[in-house]
Structure 1
Amino acid sequence: MKDVTQFNNKKILVLGLARSGEAAARLLAELGAIVTVNDSRAFDENPSAQTLLEEGIKVICGSHPLELLDEEFSYMVKNPGIPYSNPMVVRAAEKGIPIITEIELAYLISEAPIIGITGSNGKTTTTTMIANILNQAGQTALLSGNIGFPASEVAQKAKANDTLVMELSSFQLMGTETFHPHIALITNLMPTHIDYHGSFENYVAAKWNIQKKMTSKDFVILNFNQDLAKELAAKTKAAIIPFSTKEKVDGAYLDGDQLCFKGQVIMKAEEIGVPGEHNIENALAAIAAAKISGVENEAIAAALSHFSGVKHRLQFLGKVKGVQFYNDSKSTNILATQKALSGFDKNKVILIAGGLDRGNEFDELIPDIRGVKKMVILGESAPRLKRAADKAGVSYKDAGNVADAAHIAFEEANPGDIILLSPANASWDMYKNFEVRGDEFIAAFEAIKGE
């Protein structure tokens, strides 16, 4: 860990806990800062706050009192999920207090170079693919960031010959000042999180922060399937490495059924360990990052062919009596489910879908579910999903929860069929998060396997 002195004896407010806030508070205290943590969750129900208090860090819980900002804080380290419209954040900005996120701290202390991955879809899969490839090649890649390992915590352990492979959200990237990855990768850009950012333009600007400190010695990997990416390519000092499934580019591309990099054949697309056209894009992006990092083709092919997916992201669970089970609980929107369906022979798919939406219809999904063998539908959005299924000519059954849906789907399945949990909806009507929803599906699969 680098010896950073800029926070020594400075008063820092950590706004919001969760894992990244807890990690930031501890790191700042170790760096000599006078830390105050403010979290909306009541102290009695807040184990993280209780632990930090035991460690000697000041905590204020249960509300966000504006008068707290009357103290002379030098920085606010904001939880990424807290919007900039939050009164505490607004007041801090009015007072001229720099507002950063925990990834800025990670960058400042990290001895290791950073590969930063962001985008609307495919971030976690691509991040994991890159780490697997680097480790396959004998390098030491450390997963960090939005993938579930607080960046500032991982960065403390990283050595100069390691690589931080960091998944980054638009929320995190808004709170950076000096953050400077050596390789930045944007998987794709779709209109998401508009409620947070206010417009697609603002969302893109937040993502584009990933390269704002990069130089001609650095690399930005962009998806040239998108015209927007080609426009952004002209707006950075870094070297551009494109990837595409639609055209041969001066980077990673699909040529027939082969994945290539600058004229070299790496492997066949069908050899990737996970299905779907979107995973071909993810693999090409990972190949680009790997080649920049000096990895040999054999190691890339070995890692990608053994890649079985990320938990809850088109995760192959196994077979029962010839029926395959895939857990894609992370598909919380229509686009993600469309991409998941693209990887299968649809007339063999029994799709489990439904959950919490924003009251939208599912007309966009109709072309993608047309031809599906059957749907099992659940959750608050069930009436609207049923309308889409009717229009697509797909029969369906109702389920009370994901476990129920898994058993119903298995009763409908024949050997060779695929049971796919890909909800196209958020989980919050029935489950705390998509992980809990996916875990219930995994447990149901294990129960079915044991019957």
Structure 2
Amino acid sequence: MRISQLEGRKVALWGWGREGRAAYHAIRTRLPALPLTLFCSADEALEAESMGDAALVTESDANAERLSTFDVVVKSPGISPYKPEAVAAAGQGTRFIGGTALWFGEHADEHGTAVSTVCVTGTKGKSTTTALLAHLLRAGGHVTALAGNIGLPLLEVLEPRVTPEFWAIELSSYQTGDVAESGVRPQVAIALNIFPEHLDWHGSHERYVEDKLRLLTGARPRIAVLNANDARLTAIGAQLIAQGDVDVRWFGHAAGWHLREDDLHRGDTFVMDTRALPLPGRHNRGNLCAVLTAIEALGLDATALAPNAASFRPLPNRLQTVGTRDGVTFVNDSISTTPHASLAALDCFRERRVAILVGGHDRGLPWEDFANAMRTHAPVAIVTMGQNGPRIHALLEPLVAQAGFVLDAATDLSDAMAKARAALGGEGVVLLSPGAPSFGAYRDYVARGRHFAELAGFDPDTISAIPGLGIA
């Protein structure tokens, strides 16, 4: 759907976060007089009303009856379409779309493709992968936009002053369906991996997987770059190949870009040793293979661009070394919101003495795999915290005597850090990789990471900025 197609329809906005504000401004740019209703909180309503837009009215109660009176509701990504009121209104004919769908609608060519777009999704690693893609393309002299879920809504760059040659777009599972809804095909889509996440938004693990895969099954990119070592993605890849209209390229496969131990190969050709690259964790170095496969899919020389990974700046809150104090190194992995992410973080520091902080908002994700891994690969200490802290603690407690790690429970992040420091005794790594969202205690994972840095004695402002956002 293009923004112009909203003309003459009853339209509402649902949510007034950054994505909601971006949708409002994009619509107003094209349709300055279109009547709009904004569903938001009382505080947000005051902010919206201060703009003096006579064609904008605010309401606080987005109930099913009221939502069903609109033809189109442009909702923010954090609002689940599976909420009962949304489901009921959709049943009455209301169409729910997001800003991502509107952006893609504005970027379709005559063949229904958003040319030069590379969309990246996956349960973990997608932000670093998207940023690395933009970094390598720019290193090759290509003007590239870095946007999407990584921190810059696509609608904020709807009409850029400089037209990018390529778009590197991160998509969360909240947004992949929007691309399918737009009816516009990405040129390239990268799918890294799939683990259980966001069950509260999606309603079930099965629906999470289904929604995540809509970037492939619904949006049907011209080229799909898939992880050959993920069972779900190999199955989907086989389906896409059988259907015939998507060109499937594999990474992590011996015939393409892959790692052999720490060495990067293109087929049988050695390219470089990845150990010195500023990509924390082997999984991130593996995702370099995804980036290089996508660059080849764009028709560029990936082998020539690969060495530029050495100048990549790691992103904040993603296995980010904040600094060292009194023999203890503090690592901020606040974006970790699944137990699998916490396990991957621990693997990065398997040669170090580690005290890991786990727990946060409880979305019902299973921690049994994490607990089982602790039987043989436990760190020095595990400190549980947050809403699901007691549940994680109960799973781990029977393993303490056998595995020989310190297990402690904390009341909050400050208490957790104090207990972690004490367990390390002045040597090692305090690793914040909570495996759970920050809701309740913090506004978001960024605020949690900033507090972690502050408690460790470092300036939170210096660790928060995402390098490379926008067009360059």
Q: Return the TM-score normalized by structure 2.
A: 0.83
Corresponding residue number in structure 2 for 1:210? 215
Other structure's SS at 1:324 match: strand
Of 220, 223, 229, the residue aligned with 2:224 is: 220
Judge which range, 129-138 or 56-65, deviates more: 56-65
Indicate the RMSD between aligned Cα atoms, in angstroms.
Answer: 3.0
CA contact (8 A) 1:22 1:48 kept: no
Corresponding residue number in structure 2 for 1:109? 106
CA contact (8 A) 2:414 2:455 kept: yes
Deviations 1:84-112 (A, max 9, x none): 34355334423334322111111122486
Matches of 1:314 and 1:115 in 2, distance apart?
Answer: 24
Corresponding residue number in structure 1 for 2:321? 316
Judge which range, 162-171 or 380-389, deviates more: 380-389
1:160 CA drift (Å): 4.2
Judge which range, 397-406 or 432-441, deviates more: 397-406
1:288 CA drift (Å): 1.6
Matches of 1:121 and 1:307 in 2, distance apart?
Answer: 18
Matching of residue 93 in structure 1 with residue 82 in structure 2? no
Quick one: which amino acid aligns to residue 58 of structure 1?
L
CA contact (8 A) 1:214 1:238 kept: yes
Judge which range, 232-241 or 107-116, deviates more: 107-116
Matches of 2:406 and 2:204 in 1, distance apart?
Answer: 37
1:67 CA drift (Å): 5.0
Corresponding residue number in structure 2 for 1:422? 433
Q: Which structure 2 residue ranges, 5 or more long, are not aligned?
A: 108-113, 461-472
Of 341, 349, 359, the residue aligned with 1:344 is: 349
1:295 CA drift (Å): 4.5
CA contact (8 A) 1:112 1:161 kept: no
Matches of 2:363 and 2:12 in 1, distance apart?
Answer: 34
CA contact (8 A) 2:68 2:94 kept: no
Matching of residue 148 in structure 1 with residue 154 in structure 2? no
Matches of 1:171 and 1:358 in 2, distance apart?
Answer: 16
Matching of residue 230 in structure 1 with residue 234 in structure 2? yes
Matching of residue 431 in structure 1 with residue 449 in structure 2? no
1:166 CA drift (Å): 1.2
- 1:412–1:197 distance in 2 versus 1, CA, 3 Å: closer
1:15 CA drift (Å): 2.2
Matching of residue 36 in structure 1 with residue 43 in structure 2? no
Matches of 2:192 and 2:164 in 1, distance apart?
Answer: 26
Matches of 1:368 and 1:346 in 2, distance apart?
Answer: 16
Corresponding residue number in structure 2 for 1:291? 296
CA contact (8 A) 2:138 2:144 kept: yes
Matches of 1:221 and 1:69 in 2, distance apart?
Answer: 38
Q: Which structure 1 residue ranges, 5 or more long, are not aligned?
A: none
Quick one: which amino acid aligns to residue 379 of structure 2?
V
1:447 CA drift (Å): 4.9
Of 165, 173, 176, the residue aligned with 1:173 is: 176
- 1:174–1:133 distance in 2 versus 1, CA, 3 Å: same
Of 406, 431, 436, the residue aligned with 1:395 is: 406
1:124 CA drift (Å): 1.4
CA contact (8 A) 2:81 2:87 kept: yes
Matches of 2:96 and 2:416 in 1, distance apart?
Answer: 45
Other structure's SS at 1:54 match: coil
Corresponding residue number in structure 1 for 2:386? 379
Corresponding residue number in structure 1 for 2:130? 127
CA contact (8 A) 2:3 2:102 kept: no
Matches of 1:365 and 1:70 in 2, distance apart?
Answer: 43
Matches of 2:92 and 2:139 in 1, distance apart?
Answer: 49
1:397 CA drift (Å): 4.1
Report which structure shows greater RCO (CA 8 Å, sep ≥6).
Answer: 2
Q: Percent identity?
A: 28
Residue-pair matches, total: 439
Quick one: which amino acid aligns to residue 34 of structure 1?
L
Other structure's SS at 2:158 match: helix
Aligned pairs for 1:76-91 (under 5 A) are 76-91=73-88
Other structure's SS at 1:169 match: coil
Other structure's SS at 2:322 match: strand
Deviations 1:36-74 (A, max 9, x none): 2332412x45455335x5244413221115554575x44
Deviations 1:328-364 (A, max 9, x none): 1111221110111111125511212233325677432
Quick one: which amino acid aligns to residue 438 of structure 2?
S
CA contact (8 A) 1:25 1:35 kept: no
